[in-house]
Amino acid sequence: MPRGKPAGVPCVQLTADLRCALFGRPERPAVCGGLQPDGEMCGADREHALTWIADLERTTGPAARPGAQGPLTLAR
């Protein structure tokens, strides 16, 4: 997603079984490789992990950054 991924929108690179189609490939965005799962993020189940990621998107999105506009784009 060249201009970033809006919060709440699934990544276009997710496969039908919700896996990353770019995992291990050089074109995988740096932000994806930099997001390292841990116990706090993953919790006990998928629902916990999805809630954690939704909160992350909400708290780091444009509404959380005064003066910012458009989707959050993290690139290195």
User: Tell me: the pLDDT tens digits for 47-68?
Assistant: 999 899 888 888 887 776 666 5
**Domain extent for 43:** 38-63
**Does a structural domain hold residue 56?**
yes
Q: Which residues make Cβ contacts (< 8 Å) with residue 4, sequence separation at least 6? A: 70, 71, 72, 73, 74
Residue 47 lies in a domain: yes
pTM of the model: 0.59
Q: Tokens representing 43?
A: 């919790």
Residue 7 covered by a domain: no
As a whole number, mean pLDDT of residues 12-31 equals 91
Domain count, the chain: 1
Q: Output the 3-class SS for 45-64.
A: CHHHHHHHHHHHHHHHCHHH
